[in-house]
Chains A and B, each alone.
Chain A
Amino acid sequence: MRPPSKTARLLNSFRNQIGPVVISLALVAAITAALIALTPVYDPTRVPSVYLIPVLVAATRWGIVPAVTAAFAGVLSAAFFFFPPKYSFHVADQEEVISLVLFTIVALVTSQLAGNVRHQAALARKRETEVRDLYAFSRRLAGAETAADIYAAIQDHLTTVIGQKVVIFGSTAQVEVPPDLVAAVPDQVRRDAIDVATGRDNAVARTTTDADSGATWLIRCVLSKTPEFGVIAVNLGGGGRDAIETITQHVNSLMEDAGATLERLDIGRALNEAKLRSETNLLRDALIGSVSHELRTPLASILGATTSLIEAPVIARDRRLAALAAVARDESERLNNDIQNLLDATRISAQAIRPKMEWSDPADIVNAAIERRSRRLSMHKLDVRLSGDLPLVNVDPILLEQAIGQILDNAAKYSASGSAVTVTAQRRDDQLVISVTDEGEGLTGEEKARLGERFFRGSRHVSTISGSGLGLWIAQAFVSAVGGALEAVSSGEGHGTTVSIALPAPQDPPRDDARELDE
């Protein structure tokens, strides 16, 4: 992709002139033939002015070279065919010599003038194209919805204007650079571009001359303030300083426009997304909140009534009636549990969790969680191992209890009845680790990775085990609210799961001195 050298350019323009020159000569020939045919009725002394026709045509259409060619061809033809002695370039009459000289001067001046007009027209056309390009560019900028749109616009526009491919190096994933385009960039330029992009080079713009091709490259940040929006590399070619200066200025002004749009887009997009998100969340949370409260009141009556029925001896005596009442009770409890989860989720996403931290005995918290889940865990072999000298932890005991409860729920739900659920709490360095291990379904890699997602449920359980996919998400939110971390480990599908909560537990809890208290 080297720029054409000077000789090549001349050759090129010469090649472009051959056609018009030939046509001009043909025009001269045609006029000569016509004049010969008209000789009996046409005064030969007026001949030269007729030869002005091909000169004017050539000058206005093709420029100065064909015009001059036409002028000289016209003079020679007039001398050869029409001025005595005929069929010789010699012209006998002095007066005719003067008229030929005059013709030549008029022809040359005319071609010069016509050529100038043509040049002005071409320039005007070029300006018009430039303006149109710029206009198209700013329209694209105005309509750009993503950063990628802007980069594409810059690339296309500069490529049209400079006639050179432009490469944009993105510092973010927003810019996709075709690999072949990058490959066309010399190594030196690429290195410098990376320096500018990473901010290692404190300049926002610089030029680099590639030793191999002799071409000068302009490297500058798309946004002059920061390399965050990528770096552009433009091949300025091997032209002179003025040419480089012109293109550099053009690129700079272009970048300012594009940069402003990029900034606007970035801020605008962030605002848009935040607004949309918060509106959706607000609406959903308000809905969930009011629905949950509306559901809870009747549920309180249902649950109260069914638990009362279960206790009634009339029903307890009949195995079938007792089973029916138990179903009603269990399902309303489940519904209540789901509603509680929805309410918790609402609180979490509304960031309304306000942990009330106090120094607590982790054994108390674990015991409370187990106690509250005792019926759900009644079909499992529960093994609780709490070492006697657990450190106190500074947590919100209620939130932590609920987190452990969610984990216990999951353990009971995803493992067969009769299997063991082991709960341990022990100090590990500066942490207290509470773990719940089951012998159940375990986790696949994908499930493990997505465990923390709200509403995520392993696809293999969707049809077999009911649930909302909120449990662990809530547990995770509560645990991090009290300053801990939740982790799930599984040796794979069918090999059980261990969910652990790690809480900071300083070696020396504040004034851990029971004796002092006794005095």
Chain B
Amino acid sequence: MSEAASTVLVIDDESQIRRFLRAAFELEGFVVRDAADATEGIHSATIKPPDLIILDLGLPDMDGAGVLERLRAWSKVPIIVLSVRSNEDEKVRLFEHGADDYVVKPFGMAELVARARAALRRHSRGAAGDSLIKCGPLEIDLDGRAVSLDGVRLALTPKEYKVLQVLARHAGKVVTHHHLLNEIWGPDHAHDAHYLRMFIRKLRRKIEKDPSRPSILLTELGVGYRIAQPRAQTDTSPRF
């Protein structure tokens, strides 16, 4: 799948935002379609599924979580949410409703494009069923259940492996605290954030060069953790 052919659907009620996003994404080699409200957006996404959706949260006719739910009912298309509010609770809620990423307005276009490409890559990799995740010196082999650092296999506890596995399966995407705790320690510990803190700190000592300034296992404050986006071999973008 060539990135130059990727279609992005922008759903935003602000015409100025739509105008600049169209120009900026086209400049980056995307094909752009847009919609001014949720109904039109969902309709457009259903008629002709895009490769990526940019969804503004402040739509007049439907709330963000509602749009996500409607889209997720039938589609796995990557969705990046735009919001004027930097609200961690809302982020958590949207991630759990299936958002792939969350960008606060105003944002730099480079950042949005980078996140868009990352989301597209994750999606295509997920579709391809890639089982080897490389992140800097760290290699996670999901099939072989093995983790190695600079080619040396690490001795991890089962839970440590499981955490890395969950994060690697969503590599580059934020996994919420709640999700991690629930998946690894079970629902009884779903709210014990300090468990997770101490655990991650310990895990970082095993995989990070400088555990106090991590570069692989990253924290998304108030939301969750993610593994740094693996670099794709073909990360060239068309330029004018």
B187 CB, nearest partner CB in chain A, Å: 15
Which chain B residues numbered 5 to 47 have a C-beta less than 8 Å away from chain A? 14, 16-17, 19-21, 23-24, 27-28
Question: For the complex, is B73 an interface residue (Cβ under 8 Å from A)?
Answer: no
Chain B window 84-101, contacts with chain A (Cβ cutoff 8 Å), 1 for yes, 0 for no:
101011000000000000
Which of B21, B106, B185, B213 gathers the greatest number of chain A CB atoms within 10 Å?
A: B106
Chain B window 191-216, contacts with chain A (Cβ cutoff 8 Å), 1 for yes, 0 for no:
01111011111100000000111100
Q: What is the bound-complex CA distance between A118 and B23, given in angstroms? A: 106
Interface size class of A (residues with CB under 8 A): 35 or more
Cβ of A403: which chain B residues have Cβ within 8 Å of it? none
Closest to B14 in A: A297
Cβ of B198: which chain A residues have Cβ within 8 Å of it? 392, 512-514, 517
Question: For the complex, is A106 an interface residue (Cβ under 8 Å from B)?
Answer: no
B222 adjacent to A301 (CB under 8 Å): no
Which chain A residues numbered 281 to 316 have a C-beta less than 8 Å away from chain B? 293, 296-305, 307-308, 310-314
* Among B19, B109, B221, contact of A364 (Cβ-Cβ < 8 Å): B221
Q: What is the bound-complex CA distance between A314 and B27, given in angstroms? A: 11
Question: For the complex, is A42 an interface residue (Cβ under 8 Å from B)?
Answer: no
Closest to B197 in A: A361
Which of A305, A310, A360, A364 gathers the greatest number of chain B CB atoms within 10 Å?
A: A364
Given A296-B105, A361-B200, A518-B157 in contact, is the A311-B110 Cβ separation under 8 Å? Answer: yes
B193 adjacent to A359 (CB under 8 Å): yes
B213 adjacent to A367 (CB under 8 Å): yes
Q: What is the bound-complex CA distance between A332 and B109, given in angstroms? A: 13
Q: What is the bound-complex CA distance between A396 and B110, given in angstroms? A: 29
B108 adjacent to A303 (CB under 8 Å): yes
How many A-B pairs have beta carbons closer than 8 Å: the answer is 130
Closest to A516 in B: B195
Given A336-B106, A518-B160 in contact, is the A511-B195 Cβ separation under 8 Å? Answer: yes
Chain A window 482-517, contacts with chain B (Cβ cutoff 8 Å), 1 for yes, 0 for no:
000000000000000000000000000111111001
A345 CB, nearest partner CB in chain B, Å: 16
Given A398-B88, A511-B194, A518-B159 in contact, is the A304-B222 Cβ separation under 8 Å? Answer: no
B23 adjacent to A308 (CB under 8 Å): yes
Given A300-B105, A313-B239, A367-B213 in contact, is the A356-B194 Cβ separation under 8 Å? Answer: no
B194 adjacent to A304 (CB under 8 Å): no
Given A313-B240, A384-B213, A514-B202 in contact, is the A308-B109 Cβ separation under 8 Å? Answer: yes
B221 adjacent to A365 (CB under 8 Å): yes
Closest to A310 in B: B110
A300 adjacent to B107 (CB under 8 Å): yes
Which of B17, B192, B199, B219 gathers the greatest number of chain A CB atoms within 10 Å?
A: B219
A307 adjacent to B88 (CB under 8 Å): no
Cβ of A363: which chain B residues have Cβ within 8 Å of it? 212-213
Chain A window 10-53, contacts with chain B (Cβ cutoff 8 Å), 1 for yes, 0 for no:
00000000000000000000000000000000000000000000
Chain B window 159-186, contacts with chain A (Cβ cutoff 8 Å), 1 for yes, 0 for no:
1100000000000000000000000010
Which of A392, A512, A517 gathers the greatest number of chain B CB atoms within 10 Å?
A: A517
Question: For the complex, is A256 an interface residue (Cβ under 8 Å from B)?
Answer: no
Question: For the complex, is A57 an interface residue (Cβ under 8 Å from B)?
Answer: no
Which of A332, A368, A513, A514 gathers the greatest number of chain B CB atoms within 10 Å?
A: A514
Question: For the complex, is A438 an interface residue (Cβ under 8 Å from B)?
Answer: no
Which of A329, A359, A384, A513 gathers the greatest number of chain B CB atoms within 10 Å?
A: A359
* Among A296, A310, A361, contact of B219 (Cβ-Cβ < 8 Å): A361
B108 adjacent to A304 (CB under 8 Å): yes
* Among A296, A300, A368, contact of B221 (Cβ-Cβ < 8 Å): A368
B109 adjacent to A307 (CB under 8 Å): yes
Question: For the complex, is A240 an interface residue (Cβ under 8 Å from B)?
Answer: no
Question: For the complex, is A388 an interface residue (Cβ under 8 Å from B)?
Answer: yes
Question: For the complex, is B71 an interface residue (Cβ under 8 Å from A)?
Answer: no
Which chain A residues numbered 347 to 372 have a C-beta less than 8 Å away from chain B? 356, 358-361, 363-365, 367-368
Question: For the complex, is B112 an interface residue (Cβ under 8 Å from A)?
Answer: yes
A395 CB, nearest partner CB in chain B, Å: 10
A367 adjacent to B194 (CB under 8 Å): no
B20 CB, nearest partner CB in chain A, Å: 5
* Among B14, B23, B193, B219, contact of A305 (Cβ-Cβ < 8 Å): B23
Q: What is the bound-complex CA distance between A121 and B99, given in angstroms? A: 98
Q: What is the bound-complex CA distance between A329 and B158, given in angstroms? A: 47
Cβ of B19: which chain A residues have Cβ within 8 Å of it? 301
B105 adjacent to A356 (CB under 8 Å): no
Cβ of B113: which chain A residues have Cβ within 8 Å of it? 311
Closest to B195 in A: A517
Closest to B87 in A: A398
Question: For the complex, is A328 an interface residue (Cβ under 8 Å from B)?
Answer: no
Given A359-B194, A511-B195 in contact, is the A307-B108 Cβ separation under 8 Å? Answer: yes
A518 CB, nearest partner CB in chain B, Å: 5
Cβ of B157: which chain A residues have Cβ within 8 Å of it? 518
Given A297-B14, A365-B221 in contact, is the A517-B105 Cβ separation under 8 Å? Answer: no
* Among B88, B106, B159, contact of A303 (Cβ-Cβ < 8 Å): B106
Q: What is the bound-complex CA distance between A509 and B160, given in angstroms? A: 21
A110 CB, nearest partner CB in chain B, Å: 100
A388 adjacent to B108 (CB under 8 Å): no
Closest to A299 in B: B106
Which chain A residues numbered 388 to 435 have a C-beta less than 8 Å away from chain B? 388, 392, 396-398, 401
A304 adjacent to B202 (CB under 8 Å): no
B221 adjacent to A401 (CB under 8 Å): yes
Closest to B201 in A: A361
Cβ of B240: which chain A residues have Cβ within 8 Å of it? 312-314
User: Could you pull out 11 A-B pairs where Cβ atoms are within 8 angstroms?
Assistant: A299-B106, A300-B105, A304-B108, A304-B109, A311-B113, A388-B211, A397-B221, A511-B192, A511-B195, A513-B198, A514-B199
